[in-house]
Amino acid sequence: MIGCAAMEQATTVATVVGEATGTISRQQGESIRKSSKAVAKSLEDFTPEQEYYIGRTVGAVVLTKYRPLDDDRANTYLNTMGQALARVSDMPELFAGYHFLVLDSDDINAFATPGGHVFITRGLIRCCRTEDELAAVVAHEIGHVQLQHGMNAIKKARRTEALSVLVREGAKSFGTKEIAQLNDVFGGVITDITNTMINNGYSRSYEYQADAAALSIMKRMNYNPRALPDMLNVMAKQIKPGGTDFAKTHPSPQNRIAALKKNDQFVGETETPDVRKNRFMKAVGHLL
């Protein structure tokens, strides 16, 4: 987080200098001073609308790496399950809601953008044998959204840069130079998030946090929490060491299972009912 007071002070000094040197008018200076206070406060968080637009472009970048799977049956099923799980998460409401899409790839991978776009590869769906196991995968991704892991990938310096540009946008006059700066900083934000999300992976602790969130979400929906380690056991057999997917960006399935066993929520054992097994096979069986 940015030091708001420091940023306000810096902006005030810059504004006074601007007025004195005649580069900005007194009226513009007043406008900047008013706006900087508001923005310094509000940029502790980006607005939900800004997160949505960041998320859309992060999603578009994901789709340059992975082809979407044009499959109505699987995608409608995934979206229905996803909406239901999102409703019981700690963040059921997003600017434009949650959206889910299957990616046509054998990689074991998944992504969740700050705007609520969740992508899951066919390779990861193949690690799931039941609806409950797929729910575990989806709930883990919703966990990343509700914990704002994507937004936390934005570098501190970038946040400060965004703040200073947006402060000037708060003033009424916003020239081509500022618009160019705003576009640059947007590009920087996208790079920060996609580099972390796609190439390097979040910190290991974020993954464990998302697993813990997944357990809570699953329990609230009456899904079997054991489905998460069950799915991870299958993943452990299918994951290819040295791969650029979960093999690189996530803790090993074995370590994730070990962490789950220490979680208080990891209790109860319910067999997945046939009706759910059948529904799962009907919707995504052809992808397995």
Partner 1 sequence: MFRHRSLIICLALLGVLFLNTAAEAQKSMTVQVQEGQLRATPSHFGKITAKTYYGDQVTVLEEKGDWKRVSIADGKGHGWMHGSALTSKRTVLKAGQSRAGTSVSQDEIALAGKGFSEEVEKEYRKNNANLDYAWINKTAVWCSAAKEADHEKIFLAILGNRDDAGGDDRMRRHGTGNNRGHRGG
Residues 179 to 218: which contact partner 1 by CB under 8 A?
179, 182-183, 186-187, 189-190, 216
Is residue 101 within 8 Å of 119, Cβ to Cβ? yes
Site for partner 1 in 32-51 (CB under 8 A): 34-35, 37-42, 45-50
At a CB cut-off of 8 Å and minimum separation 6, what does 142 contact?
Answer: 82, 85, 86, 89, 98, 112, 118, 213, 214, 217
Residue 60 touching partner 1 (CB under 8 A): yes
For partner 1, give the closer residue by CB, 165 or 231: 165
Sign for the CA dihedral angle at 38, 91, 150, 102 comes to negative
CB of 82 to partner 1, least distance (A): 7
Q: How many Å apart are CA 31 and CA 24, to the nearest integer?
A: 11
CB 210 within 8 A of CB 197: no
Nearer to partner 1, 46 or 202 (CB): 46
Segment 64 to 123, residues that bind partner 1, using CB under 8 A:
64, 68, 72, 75-76, 78-84, 87-88, 90-101, 117
Q: Binders of partner 1: how many residues, by CB under 8 A?
A: 76
What string marks each residue from 128 to 147 as x (binds partner 1 by CB under 8 A) or -?
------------------x-
Q: Which is nearer to partner 1, 21 or 176 (CB)?
A: 176
Task: Identify residues 237-266 at the interface with partner 1 (CB under 8 A).
Answer: none
172 binds partner 1 (CB under 8 A): yes
Rounded Cα distance, 222 and 211, in Å: 17
Q: CA angle, corner 135, sides to 79 and 102, nearest 5? A: 45
DSSP assignment letter at 272? P
Q: Which two tokens stand for residue 47?
A: 């607005």
